[in-house]
């Protein structure tokens, strides 16, 4: 394993002196996300395996190349899991890719995102140094919170080598309910329920149907089901439904047309944008098929959020940009941070923003 | 006695009169304190052993004034130290001798409480508890509840990533803040995060949390509000042996329970608190655990049943469950008053803040008892046990020659042990000035250098709260050499 890292240190030094970029690749399951890979591929999937896992500490540490499926299986054996339900987007998905992409699944609004569960990281920097930040404990304010900074940084700050995550027990009981309801009323209801102590762990509205998932202690789930009414989904259907949202295998996501992700305040009204929409996270995540890039970005900003061109061909990505442009002072801080971790600009150059 | 700060390694050649003149141009007279007597109350935070007068104290009334101060300081290259309520326990808000201490206490408006989006927008000087009070009419509250919540400010909470007794289940400050608006050292307005659940680009919002005033001055915060659970109940379990109490903590988690709060106090802490608060704690116990459940009445009944079973099996010698909200608050009042209660027993105390894996709690407690004998100083222990976060309170008398030095050495050994046990030197109080040397225990030179690079990404000239949080590389080398010379084994390469 250490030989692998030595080899990469050499690759990084070579790329730096040649002024080239390295495209870091775990399982390649999220290669579609962000701007296209650029430079020589650095395969990191071989650096894998769980390093430490103690269920009573609620912490797992694994090498970044560990397949997510392997990690999930090890946790499930102990009745635990990654509660933010990270999308895999393919069997090859790795832990490192999960953190670098920073994507979370249906439970995000209820429990938090990837970044909320990262406790520590070991990274290989652009200067070829192996650095550790954070740790394996729940509370840690020694030094800046670099582990959380890594979440969603798309590999632009270094090669993730090891990741420590907080894990939680699996919910005891789960029930999914369906309601026939229009978009505006669904948004209103979701926000109203959000202000009550209800065990809602996921929500999705699409095409006139709202689906809710309740999770928690059996008694709490039963009480909420009585209060909310709604039509109960058979368990197998419910599991398949939430999985199809997490993995984007639901019919809404089919086809090659562009897919936009709007991250908005949950209370933002129904967006008057053309194209089919699917709403998650109590209104805070809204998917949109097709549409005019500029109108979408403007609408998202006006509503207090931002829009990501989640899936599209390279030409559209190049013209529209994948991520919402940053205001000047923030862009400056981004460039400075990139420089601090990767002074020669070796890692995933341009994957997130031009110049990063 | 006090440790006059020799801590800020770096001096800044600032012309005081020029600075005063420029600040007078941009601020109303009452917003500046320049007389020593007027500045005295600002010379320290909760870590009272460290004191330092600044050149000037500034008290902006709004963001515009704060911005004007920063622009002047940036132009004249004068250090700036932000300050909230100064309840910090690591010296983060201690002034810099060449700079301006900026108190944000006057920025204390609750701008908006929105029950529909379950958020509140507040200025940095708003007290933690006032947010929950303002949200209460809507059945909502702000979850992070540091024991200092009646006094500490949201700005200070963000800057320290403060925790509370309920953060095992509800998260730390970083998990409950959506957006921070702030000023760069240049005086530029920046927004980290937004009203949605995530923002484009790097997660700078996460970086701001726990940044100890070194990256930006916080001028506005959007916090998440949480629906109040229908019911909460707390179990108090007594133990005749600290080892049993420590193991009970692991057993509760192993049973798949995430309590809303899980706290531990040792005998000394119980004996400090009980006469002061009459919380109803068992004075004969070697340690007690407070274990809270919240949710629907059915859920709480079920969980309390499971908790009680685990605690009994773990050898608890007595178990009590709060019977009503009044009793629950009384049980917690004891825990929340632990620091002031210990403060009554001793002229001075140092509060440590290491975090370790839960399974080593008992081992740590026994090691601390040993150190207490070695240094001949009393130590009371209160732990956020569910998170493995320790608060040993080392009692000393600064007027007795050598006691402060002994207390500091005692504390340093606890922090070294925390790192050796696989933990960290600070869980929630921050590095500040107090733990700056010990940072070298936990981080390599290359890691410390990366922190400096990160800081420079926000603050090129190092003007925001200099000398705090991250030691200079020279200090790290000194520390490592001194440690190598001593008998203790280094913990990390
Ligand atoms: C009795 C007692 C109990 C405590 N219990 C807890 C506890 O349970 N959990 C916990 O986490 N802490 C606890 N603390 C520590 C302390 O209350 C927290 O660290 C708190 O967050 C500090 O807030 P403050 O407003 O007092 O900040 P200050 O002490 O004034 O400042 C703290 C740091 O924040 C920076 N800062 C303050 N305001 C701003 C701003 N607007 N912009 C940028 N930087 C800023 C300062 O420069 C400094 O570095 C306790 C302290 C006491 C005295």
Question: B157 CA to middle of ligand 1, Å?
Answer: 5
pTM higher than 0.95 for the full model?
A: yes
Closest residue, chain B, to A218 (C-alpha)? B299
Reported ipTM exceeds the 0.85 cut: yes
Q: Pairing relation of β-strands B226-227 and B231-239?
A: unpaired
Contact state of B457 with A333 under an 8 Å Cβ cutoff: yes
Per residue in B104-123, pLDDT (tens digit) is 999 999 999 999 999 999 99
* B426, two tokens: 């600070």
C-alpha B88 to ligand 1 mean position (Å): 4
- The domain locations on chain A are 2-169+331-341, 172-255+257-312
Average pLDDT, chain A: 97
Nearest alpha carbon to residue B95 among B105, B86, B87, B108: B86
Tell me what the mean pLDDT of segment B192-211 comes to: 98
Of B365, B387, B147, the C-alpha closest to B252 is: B387
Radius of gyration of chain B from its Cα atoms, rounded to whole angstroms: 23
User: Using 50, 70 and 90 to split pLDDT, how confident is the model at B6?
Assistant: very low
Q: In what order do the strands lie in the sheet with A118-124?
A: A50-54, A59-63, A159-166, A118-124, A130-134
- Inform me whether the pLDDT recorded for A121 exceeds 50: yes
Q: Which of B115, B251, B426 has its CB closest to that of A142?
A: B426
The Cα–Cα gap between B386 and B100 comes to: 39
* Eight-state DSSP code of residue A171: P
What percentage of chain B exceeds 90 in pLDDT? 92
Identify each DSSP E strand in A143-296 by its residue range: 159-166, 168-169, 173-180, 200-206, 209-216, 231-232, 259-263, 277-280, 285-289
DSSP-assigned letter for residue B105: T
CA distance A58 to chain B (A): 8
> How far apart, in whole angstroms, are the C-alpha atoms of residue A27 and residue A38?
16
Give DSSP secondary structure letters for A28-79: STTTTSSSPP-SEEEE-TTS--EEEEEGGGTEEEEETTSBHHHHHHHHHHTT
Q: How many of the other CB atoms lie within 10 Å of CB of A43?
A: 15
- Whether the CB of A271 is below 8 Å from some CB of chain B: the reply is no
For residue A170, give Cα distances in angstroms to A83, A126, A284, A328: 8, 38, 24, 43
What whole-number distance in Å separates Cα of residue A192 and Cα of residue B219?
30
* Residue B480 Cα distances to A113, B435, B492, angstroms: 37, 14, 11
Beta bridge partners of B50: B3
- Quickly tell me which residue has 């896992």 as its tokens: A53
CA neighbor of B273 nearest in space, from B368, B347, B380, B379: B380
Report pLDDT digits (tens) over B127-172: 999 999 999 999 999 999 999 999 999 999 999 999 998 999 999 9
Cα A336 from Cα A330, distance rounded (Å): 10
Query: Would you state the pLDDT for residue B9?
Result: 66
The H helix count followed by the E strand count for chain A is: 12, 17
Nearest-CA distance B275 → chain A (Å): 31
Contact B426 A141 (CB under 8 A): yes
Residue pair A306/A299 in contact (Cβ under 8 Å)? The answer is no
- Is the backbone of residue A152 left (phi > 0), alpha (psi -120 to 50) or beta? left
Are the Cβ atoms of B191 and A133 closer than 8 angstroms? no
Count of other CB atoms within 10 angstroms of residue B75? 12
* Torsion on CA atoms A226, A227, A233, A234, rounded to nearest 10: -20
3-class DSSP state of A205: strand
Range 423-442 of B in CB contact (< 8 A) with A: 423-431, 435, 439, 442
Mean pLDDT of chain B: 94
The whole-angstrom separation of Cα B376 and Cα B311 is 34
- State the smallest CA–CA distance between residue B204 and chain A in angstroms: 7
Length of chain A: 356
pLDDT of B423 > 80? The answer is: yes
Asked if A136 and B357 come within 8 Å (Cβ–Cβ), the reply is: yes
Partner B, chain A 2-21, Cβ-Cβ below 8 Å: none
DSSP H helices in B432-492: 439-442, 445-458, 473-485
Residue with tokens 């070697």: B286
Class of domain A2-169+331-341: alpha beta
The reply to whether residue B202 touches residue A135, judged by beta carbons under 8 angstroms, is no
Average pLDDT for residues B263-270, to the nearest whole number?
96
What confidence tens digit (pLDDT) does each residue in B59-81 have?
999 999 999 999 999 999 999 99
pLDDT surpasses 90 at B442: yes
Nearest in space to B354 (alpha carbons), one of B404, B432, B425, B410: B425
């Amino acid at each position: 394993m250490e030989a692998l890292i030595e080899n990469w240190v050499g690759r990084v030094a070579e790329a730096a002196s040649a002024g080239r970029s390295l495209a870091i690749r775990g399982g390649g399951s999220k290669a579609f996300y962000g701007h296209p890979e650029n430079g020589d591929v650095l395969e990191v999937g071989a650096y894998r395996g769980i390093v430490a896992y103690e269920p009573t500490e609620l912490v797992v540490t694994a090498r970044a190349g560990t397949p997510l499926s392997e990690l999930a299986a090890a946790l499930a054996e102990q009745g635990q899991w990654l509660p933010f339900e990270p999308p895999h987007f393919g069997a090859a998905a790795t832990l490192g890719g999960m953190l670098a992409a920073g994507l979370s699944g249906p439970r995000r609004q209820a429990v938090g995102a990837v970044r909320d569960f990262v406790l520590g990281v070991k990274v290989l920097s652009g200067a070829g140094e192996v650095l550790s930040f954070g740790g394996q404990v729940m509370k840690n304010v020694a030094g800046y919170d670099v582990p959380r900074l890594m979440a969603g940084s798309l590999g632009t700050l270094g090669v993730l080598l090891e990741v420590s995550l907080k894990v939680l027990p699996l919910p005891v009981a789960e029930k999914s309910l369906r309601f026939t309801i229009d978009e505006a009323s669904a948004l209103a209801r979701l926000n109203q329920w959000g202000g009550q102590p209800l065990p809602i762990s996921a929500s999705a509205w699409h095409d006139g149907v709202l689906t809710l998932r309740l999770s928690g202690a059996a008694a709490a789930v039963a009480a909420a089901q009585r209060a909310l009414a709604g039509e109960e989904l058979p368990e197998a259907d419910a599991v398949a439904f939430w999985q199809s949202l997490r993995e984007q295998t639901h019919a809404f996501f089919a086809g090659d047309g562009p897919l936009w992700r709007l991250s908005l305040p949950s209370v933002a009204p129904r967006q008057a944008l053309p194209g089919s929409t699917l709403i998650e996270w109590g209104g805070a995540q809204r998917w949109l098929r097709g549409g005019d890039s500029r109108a979408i970005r403007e609408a998202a900003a006006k509503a207090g959020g931002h829009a990501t061109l989640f899936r599209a061909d390279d030409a559209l990505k190049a013209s529209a940009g994948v991520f919402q442009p940053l205001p000047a002072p923030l862009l400056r801080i981004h460039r400075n941070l990139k420089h601090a971790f990767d002074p020669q600009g070796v890692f995933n150059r341009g994957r997130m923003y031009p110049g990063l | 006695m006090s440790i006059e700060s020799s801590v800020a390694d770096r001096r800044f050649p600032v012309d005081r009169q020029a600075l005063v003149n420029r600040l007078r141009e941009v601020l109303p007279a009452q917003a500046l304190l320049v007389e020593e007597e007027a500045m005295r109350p600002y010379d320290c935070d909760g870590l009272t052993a460290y004191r330092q007068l600044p050149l000037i104290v500034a008290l902006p009334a709004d963001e515009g004034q704060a911005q004007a101060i920063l622009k002047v300081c940036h132009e004249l290259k004068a250090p700036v130290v932000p300050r909230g309520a100064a309840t910090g326990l690591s010296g983060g808000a201690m002034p810099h001798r060449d700079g301006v201490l900026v108190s944000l206490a006057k920025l204390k408006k609750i701008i908006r409480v929105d029950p529909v989006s379950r958020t509140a927008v507040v200025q940095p000087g708003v007290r933690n508890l006032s947010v929950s009070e303002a949200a209460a009419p809507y059945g909502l509250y702000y979850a992070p509840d540091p024991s200092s919540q009646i006094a500490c400010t949201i700005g200070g909470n963000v800057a320290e990533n403060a925790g509370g007794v309920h953060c095992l289940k509800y998260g730390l400050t970083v998990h409950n803040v959506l957006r921070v608006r702030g000023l760069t050292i240049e005086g530029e307005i920046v927004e980290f995060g937004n009203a949605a659940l995530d923002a484009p680009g790097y997660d700078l919002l996460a970086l701001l949390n726990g940044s100890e005033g070194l990256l930006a001055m916080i001028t506005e915060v959007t916090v998440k509000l949480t629906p109040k659970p229908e019911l909460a109940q707390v179990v108090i379990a007594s133990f005749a042996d600290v080892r049993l109490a420590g193991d009970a903590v692991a057993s509760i988690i192993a049973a798949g329970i995430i309590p809303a709060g899980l706290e531990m106090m040792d005998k000394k802490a119980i004996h400090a608190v009980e006469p002061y608060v009459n919380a109803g704690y068992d004075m004969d116990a070697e340690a007690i655990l407070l274990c809270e459940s919240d949710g629907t009445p059915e859920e709480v009944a079920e969980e309390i049943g499971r908790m009680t079973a685990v605690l009994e099996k773990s050898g608890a010698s007595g178990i009590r469950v709060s019977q009503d909200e009044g009793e629950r608050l009384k049980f917690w009042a004891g825990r929340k008053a632990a620091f002031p209660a210990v403060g009554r027993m001793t002229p001075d105390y140092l509060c440590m803040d290491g975090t370790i894996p839960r399974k080593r709690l008992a081992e740590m407690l026994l090691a601390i008892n040993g150190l207490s004998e070695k240094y001949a100083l009393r130590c009371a222990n209160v732990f956020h046990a569910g998170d493995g976060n320790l608060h040993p309170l080392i009692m000393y008398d600064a007027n007795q020659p050598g006691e402060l030095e002994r207390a500091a050495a005692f504390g340093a050994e606890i922090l070294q042990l925390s790192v050796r046990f696989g933990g960290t030197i600070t869980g929630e109080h921050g590095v500040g000035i107090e733990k700056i040397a010990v940072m070298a225990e936990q981080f390599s030179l290359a890691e410390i250098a990366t922190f400096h690079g990160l800081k420079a990404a926000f603050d090129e000239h190092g003007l925001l709260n200099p000398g705090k949080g991250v030691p200079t590389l020279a200090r790290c080398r000194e520390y490592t050499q001194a440690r190598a010379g001593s008998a203790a084994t280094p913990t990390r390469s």
